[in-house]
A and B are shown apart, each in its own frame.
Chain A
């Protein structure tokens, strides 16, 4: 079983829609959860990170962690064409490395 699993999509939605991106993870010991955004031919950039359970909001973005079901989510409200990118969930394993999901390719259609 992979440590982090993510539906690769692709996911295509109209502008203004609410987008839900999801990952599952295998080890209940994981504490830090991240979402990265990667535009085509660019490096990933950190969007948000959360510690343990609960929600964290930043503008149009909300990250949610449900430790009981080992499920992490990213919601994008009022989606814009500029949000079109690949979204990567990640967890920290030990003190040395991030373990990424496969990434979900998202397209927002004007």
Chain B
């Protein structure tokens, strides 16, 4: 069975640009979460979506937005990129909204902002 897949794996943008990151959850998983992992730090929660609705939002500016599609895949959008947005963006899926830590992570999209 395929795990969580993310695209693109690497990308380079310049300040002020916009980026869209994509995620396909494990088949049958209805919840998708996004995390940002800056080099040398643990992942930080950005969003959780369940059944196409936002169910949780972390402490990130409005430049960050996301959505979940009817097939449960998801997109993370970041506008007006800043140098500090350079990070590994991780998508994770789980069966349900309430999880006992059983989040399954993809390998991430590594974003570099120049």
Report the separation of the CA atoms of residues A96 and B55 in the bound assembly, to the nearest whole angstrom: 7
B50-85 CB contacts (< 8 Å) to partner A: 55-56, 58
Count of inter-chain pairs, beta carbons less than 8 A = 68
Majority secondary structure, B binding face: loop
Give bound CA distance, A46 to B94, whole Å: 12
B-facing residues in A23-76 (Cβ within 8 Å): 32-34, 41-46, 49, 51
Q: With A42-B107, A43-B105, A43-B108 given, is the CB distance from A100 to B42 under 8 Å?
A: yes
Q: Which residues of B contact A (CB under 8 A)?
A: 4, 33, 35, 40-45, 48, 55-56, 58, 90, 92, 97-108
Known: A32-B101, A102-B40. 10 other contacts (CB 8 A): A41-B107, A44-B90, A46-B104, A49-B101, A95-B97, A96-B55, A97-B33, A98-B45, A100-B43, A102-B42
